[in-house]
Structure 1
């Protein structure tokens, strides 16, 4: 089926809206980085949670940069962000988390890490062709 003028216009419009949303996300992430740096500056101390939060922002910016540069997004980036977010939650709330929740969060991190290994294996073993 050949795309008509309306479908081409709709596709172009959605692409522009998607690019605009990505730029908004990038600006919001940069703003959040500056807020985190200001928080660290005012507290006069750097905690592990602050470092993990900055690393989380760095991963989001890296993901956006990769997507804007190549037009595709490897599934690994959101998985990395998920691991960092779970690790930050685990580190910050260690005092209030019971043993079952700690085990569940640690298991979730392990499952995401295994998923990353499976995805990486799939990309190496079954690479994409240039046609896709």
Structure 2
């Protein structure tokens, strides 16, 4: 199907909204990072939970940077963020969690790590072609 002038206009409009949202997410992440740093400064102590939160923000910024520079988003990035978020949850709530919940969160982290390995293996073993079906993703 050939795009008409309205579908091109719609694509451009959606692209502008997408870019604006990405900039907003980046700015919100930078503000959140500043708030976390201010909290660390006020407490005069750095905890593992603080570091994991900063790593979450770093991964979000890395993911945004990669998306803005390449126009693609590897599925690994959200998976990394998921692992860090689950690890932070464990660190923060370990004293209040029942054993089965700790096991479930740890198993979730393991499953996500396995998923990352599978995705990486698939990407190396079966790389994407630069065929015509990818042309619309790079624009």
TM-score for both structures, normalised by structure 1:
0.99
Equivalent residues in 2 for 1:1-132, closer than 5 Å: 1-131=1-131, 132=134
Q: Tell me by how many angstroms 1:23 deviates.
A: 0.3
Shift of the alpha carbon at 1:130? 1.5
Partner Cα distance (2:113, 2:46) in 1: 27
Q: Could you give the per-residue CA deviations for residues 37-71 of structure 1, whole angstroms, max 9, x where no partner exists? A: 00000000000000000000000000000000000
Q: Which runs of at least 4 in structure 1 moved beyond 2 Å after TM superposition?
A: none
What is residue 137 of structure 2 aligned with on the other side?
none
Q: Output the aligned Cα RMSD.
A: 0.5
TM-score relative to the length of structure 2: 0.94
Deviation (angstroms), 1:107: 0.4
Q: Which runs of 5+ in 2 are unaligned?
A: 135-139
Instruction: Name the SS for the 1:127 alignment partner.
Output: coil
Q: Which 5+ residue runs of structure 1 have no aligned equivalent?
A: none
Question: Separation in 1 of the partners of 2:6 and 2:100?
Answer: 54
